[in-house]
Amino acid sequence: MAAAAFVMPVASAQAETTHDEQAWINLTATGSLSGDLVYFAELQPRIGDGVSRIDQLLLRGAVGWRLSPAVTVYQGYAHVAVPIEGGRDINEERSFQQLSLALGKPLGGELSSRTRLEQRWRSNGRDVGWRLREMLRYEHALKPGSDAVNALVWSEAFLALNDTDWGAKSGFDQLRTFVGTEIGLRGASTVELGYLNQTINQPAGRTRMNHVASVTLWYRH
């Protein structure tokens, strides 16, 4: 009985889930450079620790080629700055390859997918981390015949493909799930507002869950 009483708190600590309230802002510009040669560029400040300080700042861009109206491939690069209170900031550099697919219009909405393969370098280690990301996105007009306001849901799973000396562990990395609305702006631009849940796998069986107020502005031209 004494042994059981000792083991139960240890197991509980190992399975602990920590929560944080955050706000993420995503400003994305996308368009054609020339014909089927396309691009996107993103600026993403992420405010965490109870929406009290910058948790991450992400700069990401890519150049792609539209193979067909439904298929686009990209090569991109991202810089991620992670401020550390009382210590040296951690910087992450990423190269990535992306496949974007339009998957049709089931139930009168629009279904699409994004597959991204990342190569990651961090300033607190020497190894290259490989990570696969897969997103499914579905949007549906709230008013028939108008796409001024759409219901929007998406989910993205992250899978680490190897261990690194800076902390990545092969296997399930995280899951992001978004529920909200997409509102049409001038031209083809839109803004997306909603709730994002980010569930992150951490060492020793721990889980981190971020509850995020998410705002994404898409400028399309």
Q: Does any domain span residue 11? A: no
Structural domain includes residue 174: yes
pTM here?
0.91
Mean pLDDT of the chain: 93
pLDDT at 6: 42
Cα(35)–Cα(65) distance, rounded to whole angstroms?
9
Assigned domain for 185 exists: yes
The answer to whether position 128 is within a domain reads yes
The answer to whether residue 6 sits within a structural domain is no
CATH of the domain at 163: 2.40.160.40
* Burial class, 5, CB count within 10 angstroms (exposed 0-12 / middle 13-18 / buried 19+): exposed
- The reply to whether 117 falls in a domain is yes
Low-confidence ranges of the chain (pLDDT < 70): 1-15
Span 133-190, pLDDT tens digits: 999 999 999 988 788 999 999 999 999 999 999 999 999 999 999 999 999 999 999 9
Among residues 217, 219, 211, 218, which one has the least CA distance to residue 47?
A: 211
Contact (Cβ atoms closer than 8 angstroms) between residue 128 and residue 164: yes
Whether residue 183 is contained in a domain is answered as yes
Half-sphere exposure (CA, 13 Å, Cβ side) for 184?
A: 13
Per the structure, the count of domains in the chain is: 1
Residue 158 belongs to what domain range?
19-220
